[in-house]
Amino acid sequence: MRDHKGRRSTPFSSQLDKRVVQLWILETHCTSSAVSKFLPLLSPDERARAERFRFDQLYCSFVQLRGTLRLALGQYLRMEPEEIRFRYSDKGKPHLNHDSTVQFNLSHSYEFALLAFADGCEIGVDVERIRPFPELADVAARVFNYGEQLQLSRLPPAERTAGFFRGWVRKEAWMKATGDGLLRPTHSFCTALDRSESYRRVPVDREEDEPEIWNLHDIPVHVQYQAALAYRDAPRLLEIHSWDSANLLAAPVCITKS
């Protein structure tokens, strides 16, 4: 969208600095209007990826999320969103294909998405809707190490499903920050499953890592969701924003700073 002088209007105005991580909580909207707004911002390969989704809701969510990512990065980089180019690591993690120190990551689950932006540090985020499933114990035995399985077994039965997803998003956020993704065995490192506000992830098989510079935080997306942020740096200020990007001119609301 453009203003009366023909310049692109952006939904927020912000700058990143090396003391802050900005997070954007996005409630996705699967509407034809949202698709028509965001689709022109996507690159040809992103449009091809979108077309591979077999269900309309997944198609629409992908288009909205990638379009929102481009709008945000366009603001940070002072570029037109459709001009932004990405490159991918050999393990699939996206990075900017520009001369910039801006780092980003994103995750989507059902009605909510989480986007994270930082200047000069590796970051990863994950969000999952809490949902019961009968094979929880079997899945936990495959993806958690012994210490984490013990933590899960000690939780009250009514809290184990939330505890499982709490641990999972913390592990996934860290793996996305390192760029390892699911190529790294999830039981090869340990995290906490309780409700503490902040965590240090201690690796068990990478002695060269320095655990003290990895920060891991829970992010309050919604009561029915678990979400986490991981970043490699000294502790930073977290700015958490809520934004309805279906309205491209709507101002985001900063809901917390910590």
Contact 42, 63 (CB under 8 A): yes
**Structure letter (DSSP) for residue 2:** B
Q: Are 133 and 31 in contact (CB under 8 A)?
A: no
In b/e form, how buried is each residue of 132-142, taking b as 16+ CB within 10 angstroms? eeeeeeeebee
User: Hey, where are the domains in the chain?
Assistant: 18-121+236-258
Q: What is the pLDDT of residue 139?
A: 94
How sure is the predictor about 13, in pLDDT bands with cuts at 50, 70 and 90?
very low
CA distances from 75 to 102, 166, 180, 251 (A): 12, 32, 28, 13
CATH of 18-121+236-258, one of 1.10.3720.10, 3.90.470.20, 2.130.10.10, 3.10.20.600: 3.90.470.20
Query: Rounded mean pLDDT of the chain?
Result: 83
Between 185 and 80, the higher pLDDT residue? 80
- The confidence score (pLDDT) of residue 10 equals 39
Binning pLDDT at 50, 70 and 90, where does residue 191 land? confident
CA 168 to chain centre: 13
State pLDDT tens for residues 108-162: 999 999 999 999 999 999 999 999 988 999 999 999 999 899 999 999 999 999 9
* Helix, strand, coil share (%) of the chain residues, nearest 5: 35, 25, 40
